[in-house]
A and B are shown apart, each in its own frame.
Chain A
Amino acid sequence: MPSDGPTATERFLRGVIPENPVYKQLLGMCPTLAVTANMQAAMTMSGAVLFVMVCANVLTSMLRGLLKPHLRILVFTLTIATFVTIADRFLAAFIYPMSRELGPYVPLIIVNCMIISRCEVCAQKQSVPTAAADAIGQALGFALALASIATVRELLGAGSWFGIGLFWQSEAAQAYRWQIMSQPPGAFLTLGVLLAIAVALGAVWNRRKKATI
């Protein structure tokens, strides 16, 4: 992207839906599939990603004058690893049960392609406020995607939302729960169907836009 391209606000808005990291760019798939069995885990993960992404993008942006081309990926990775360690220790100290539930997926943020791609595409060429806006937009898009998947999976798999039981809660009704949804296969199926819905909606949207023009 050229440096005289979109402004900070545009970048922020673009990350949320038009360039959604999960649905449009297919990045950051591991946490998307792994932590979306319930809303709490998904939102904690999104918070951690937001923190790491903003900090890493801002630091990369500050360092952009010093970066050597052949070492940049290493610098990005080590920067991200530092902030992930901070986030991981924070979660372990203050929300221990959640930290246990997320387990290795918090350290796996280090190799989340989404954050490295934002450092590469945006932060190493842009000023600090632009990079921060871009990071927040992308992280919100990620949170939105995680929330959509987790909503479907938690409602169908456990009949609850954010841990609050809505239906299928009584002893007898538990047999009706769609248990596969809270197990690994459910993650793949949900994301596959939601992805197809997103593609179909995008196609409809494009056609309508062309018709109005």
Chain B
Amino acid sequence: MDYIGSLILIAVSAALINNYVLHYFVGICPFLGVSRRVDMAFGMGCAVTFVITIASFLSWALTQFILRPGAPLAAWVAGWFVDAQTAARVDLSILSYIAYIFVIASSVQFVEMYVRKFFPALYKSFGVYLPLITTNCAILFACLYIMKHIVGVGPAERWGAGEALTLAVAAGLGFTLAIVIMAGIREELDHCDVPAPFRGAGITLLVAGILAMAFTGFAGMGANLEAMLHPPADAAHQAAAAPAPPAAAQRVAADSGDRGGTRQDAPDSGGAPDDATAHTAATSSRGQRSPQGASGP
């Protein structure tokens, strides 16, 4: 349950709260270039989702088994040449950028070949956009995001394939959502009298700005979701560890429910600070747990 909760948190965070286009500004080029018509935008979104999933999974595997410090495959290969203790400290993470861009370029190539062979109609509708995905920042960004959750953290918090795939699919869906909304607005904009200097990219950027403002409305949601998914488990643990009177458990439950209700009503700027502290508290408690796991190897 905890695992599923964290997956939900990752997915919602990648798709809505920190939308790749509107919060991290990655994938802006197709967002501005291919958002003229809704069907094209949807096709682009699907292509990106497809490629981002494959590339993220491959780069997760690459990082986990070869690139990270003390990765099993790298250590095994190094074991042929040096003693086991030195081999366990092999760190290839400096090669990660080159490896990722290689993985992305080749997976785009493979996807293109596969789609051309088995889905010719789909291939025709993607057209030139499929090869262009190679230089889409969103995919490299997803790979780097996954790397950050593998290289810099203890074994207890290291992301598995499930987390990596969830992030990739959700990020792709978030991208699709943003670009389709944008295309819908731009189709309507064609009928508007836009001042001459703003025509083209200018008005698109302004619309994107307003869209980004709308998406900041999701900002308070992450902490709410975190509070909903994690603290009840902690409260249950406490209740199980120390046989507290049922009234206390009820109060905890009512308290958390009440907090959730007020937070939904409160503006997100007001809710943010204590959400942030709750979040850091949760992460630090998890961080304290991790060194015990880390001391093993």
A residues adjacent to B (C-beta < 8 A):
26, 29-30, 33-34, 73-74, 77-78, 81-82, 84-85, 88-89, 104, 107-108, 110-113, 116, 180, 183-189, 191-193, 195-197, 199-200, 203
The answer to whether A108 and B141 touch across the interface, beta carbons within 8 angstroms, is yes
Closest-CB distance, A120 to chain B (whole angstroms)? 11
* Complex interface: chain A residues within 8 A of B210 (CB): 185
Chain B interface residue bracket vs A: 35 or more
In whole Å, how far is A146's beta carbon from the nearest beta carbon of chain B?
A: 13
> Is the Cβ of A111 less than 8 Å from the Cβ of B28?
no
Question: How would you classify the secondary structure of chain B's contact residues: helix, strand, loop or mixed?
Answer: helix
Q: Which residue of A lies closest to B18 (CB)?
A: A184
Taking CB atoms, residues of chain B closer than 8 Å to A188 are: 205-206, 208-209, 212
A-B contact count (CB 8 A): 113
Q: List 24 A-B contacts (CB under 8 A).
A: A26-B32, A29-B32, A30-B27, A33-B25, A34-B24, A104-B145, A107-B140, A107-B144, A108-B140, A110-B140, A111-B136, A113-B135, A184-B23, A184-B216, A186-B209, A187-B25, A187-B209, A188-B208, A192-B198, A192-B202, A192-B203, A192-B208, A195-B205, A200-B196
* B110 close to A (CB within 8 Å): no
Taking CB atoms, residues of chain B closer than 8 Å to A33 are 25, 28
Query: Shortest distance in angstroms between A48's beta carbon and chain B's nearest beta carbon?
Result: 13
B149 CB to nearest A CB, Å? 12
Contact A199 B23 (CB under 8 A): no
B residues 92-110 near A (Cβ < 8 Å) are 94-95, 97-98, 101-102, 105
Do B98 and A185 have beta carbons less than 8 Å apart? no
B246 proximal to A (CB < 8 A): no
Docked-complex contact A111 and B137, CB < 8 angstroms: yes
Which residues in chain B, 125-171, are within 8 Å of chain A measured between CB atoms?
A: 134-137, 140-141, 144-145, 148
Chain A residue contacts of B22, Cβ below 8 A: 184
Return the contact of A189 from the options B102, B136, B205 (Cβ within 8 A). Answer: B205
The distance in angstroms between the C-alpha atoms of A84 and B144, with both chains bound, is 14
Within B165-219, which residues are at the interface with A (CB < 8 Å)? Answer: 195-198, 201-206, 208-210, 212-213, 216
